[in-house]
Amino acid sequence: MSDSIVSAAHLRTMFDRLNALDDLTMLEMALSRGYQGHEAVAIVKAYRALLSEVPPVPPTHNQPVRCLGIVGASSVPTAIWPYLLLAHCFNIPVKIKLPLSDLPSVYLLKDIITRVSETTDTLLNHCSESSWEISIQAGDVLLGAGFWDDCDRVLVFGSDAAVELYRSHFAEPGRVIGFGHVESVLLVDLASLQSDDGWMDDVLAFGHVGCLAPRLVVAADDASPASVAELTLGKLNGLVVPDVQRAVTLRNVFHELRVNGDDAWLSKDGMWLTSSSRDFAMVSNPGHLRIVPKATVLGSGCSIGALSKPAKACFVSNQLTELDAQATWICEWGRAQYPSMLWQNGGVPIATTLCR
């Protein structure tokens, strides 16, 4: 790897090359990696959104890390792809630890990079191959084996406990950058829900497992949770591939909530669960949406990954600017899981994360 940061012209050329792959070819590649219908389309959209804006080149005194480590709980494009794409552009070797079920996304990106790179291109020759070492072993095993020792920086996506595990292992401040649990918010009002289906892409993309997938639904116009639940479940019903494990998990959660006296509703296909609460509470199961009034979130100090709002909101509240201030990614309905390279994950620009 070069001792100096890549130039803005080089980065622009790399992005143009990565953007050259047509949507149909990429869709076929996603399908060949096992992605189905809506998820395959979501991957194409996410890829296009990431490359829509070229990030600024960091100051020349900030050099790319010599080796980057990534620990991930999910490899959907909005989580890990931005770092892998820039690592490829900067010619940085990467070590990755992922669950076995998350590997198709990484290998799909590898396929795309290989497809668009031409070894005969002088400018891109040194970046035609991406050096990614991938492991599916348990995280603590890799720590003990010294897998990460040559990584100048280790990005950890997952639970707060996983982040702390890695931070406690490395003495150097700033070597581990952690992205723990965040709550993405879908801001709704009944009028918009009835007239605009853009919000559906926020929850349907990547099967509702993406780190920016909203699990918290904030009824900004004080609509009743039952009204919001009826509208959302009716529109989502039948739009995901039936999954027995997901259905059983959601039904168990549904019964547990009802036994505890909470309001909860299941879609007819069993793939979606909504529940209501006046206490701030995070939910983790894909397919589960927690509906809360705006007062629940205001002043809670929650870390918001993405705040998705209707294009024409029928509500006005100065208090809601507090939500904007806490959100990493603010967008209109349908864009929550499709940020560009200019977004700042946890307040840190993506390009800056890859430099030391």
CATH number at residue 48: 3.40.605.10
Instruction: Say yes or no: 29 and 114 in one domain.
Output: yes
Amino acid identity of residue 245, one-letter, is Q
Q: What is the mean pLDDT of each run of 10 residues along the chain (356 residues)?
A: 69 92 95 90 95 87 89 85 93 92 91 79 53 85 89 90 90 86 88 92 90 90 90 93 94 96 95 89 88 84 87 72 82 93 84 87
Cβ pair 54, 12 in contact under 8 A? yes
**In whole angstroms, what is the distance from residue 229 CA to residue 254 CA?**
13
**pLDDT value of position 122:** 47
In this prediction, residue 217 carries a pLDDT of 94
**Considering its fold, how many domains does the chain have in total?**
2
* Residue 3: inside a domain: no
Angle of helix 81-90 relative to helix 37-50, nearest 10 degrees, comes to: 50
96 strand-pairing partners: 70, 134
CATH of the domain at 204: 3.40.309.10
Q: Which of 316, 283, 282, 323 is nearest to 301 (CA)?
A: 323
Residues 6+ apart with CB under 8 A from 75: 81, 98, 102, 103, 104, 105, 106
Sign of torsion over alpha carbons 165, 171, 173, 175: negative
Dihedral pair phi/psi, residue 186, rounded to 5°: -105, 110
Same domain, 201 and 159: no
Specify the DSSP element, H or E, that contains 254: helix 244-259
- Give 152's Cβ-side CA count (13 Å radius): 13
Is there a domain that residue 206 lies in? yes
> pTM for the full model?
0.88
Are residues 208 and 321 part of one domain? yes
Torsion of CA 17, 23, 27, 29, to 10 degrees: -30
Are 124 and 201 part of one and the same domain? Answer: no
Judge if 21 and 147 occupy the same domain: yes
3 state DSSP class of 230: helix
The answer on 222 and 273 residing in a single domain is yes
251 is a domain residue: yes
Q: What is the pLDDT of residue 203?
A: 94
Regarding whether 305 and 213 lie in a shared domain, the answer is: yes
Segments forming the whole domain that contains residue 90 = 8-181+339-353
% helix / strand / coil in the chain, to the nearest 5?
A: 40, 15, 45
